[in-house]
Structure 1
């Protein structure tokens, strides 16, 4: 098989950075970010969050090769913020949303446990 070992899909190599970025000189306020050892899960989450920002004109990602766990994201902003700041804000908002989801899930599981315990007493 030509598929990489599974640990290579998520473990960074020696000296490898998680995120790198370069400014796109052809389009103003545009940068291309490369995320190593990540896939559609994070890419789609960031992409959708970026689309919700009124300061972001364009956001899209590609996965250059299906056997490589890497994606490239292009972000164009209106100039009031730079693309790097837009990515950071999108990531922070996603983390905040996931924390709220975790809290709500935990609360609902506790309610279910109490309901199940109460049902067993009758």
Structure 2
């Protein structure tokens, strides 16, 4: 079988950056971010978070090929922001949101466990 090993889907090879930045030379305030070892789940969440930013004119992602374990996120912003700023804000906002979700989940589990009587 010539399929790649399963670990290649999530282990970033040594010497490879997790995220790389490539500025667009044809469009002002546009760039692409290549995120290694991620797929549709992260791409869609990041795209939706970028759409919440009023300075983002376009945000999209693509998975170039099913056997290439990376996504390409494309961001185009207004002159009040840069793609790098929009990306950083979106990542920080998602980090805060996921921390809140984890805390709320753990609190619910703790409440549910303490309310149960055997």
State if a TM-score over 0.5 links the two structures: yes
Spell out the pairing of 1:1-122 with structure 2 (5 A cutoff).
1-117=1-117, 120=118
Number of equivalent positions: 118
In 2, the alpha carbon distance for the partners of 1:94 and 1:8 equals: 25
What is the CA distance between 1:107 and its match in structure 2? 0.7
**Distance in 1 between the 2:39 and 2:2 partners?**
19
TM-score normalized by the length of structure 1:
0.92
Give the TM-score of the pair, scaled to structure 2. Answer: 0.95
State the Cα deviation string for residues 54-90 of structure 1 (Å, max 9, x = none).
Answer: 0101000000001221000110011211101111110
CA distance in 2, matches of 1:23, 1:2: 35
Q: RMSD over aligned Cα, in angstroms?
A: 1.0
CA distance in 1, matches of 2:2, 2:71: 20
Unpaired runs of at least 5, structure 2: none
Structure 1: 4+ residue segments shifted above 6 A: none
Which sections of structure 1, spanning at least 5 residues, go unmatched? none
The SS at the match of 1:26 is: coil
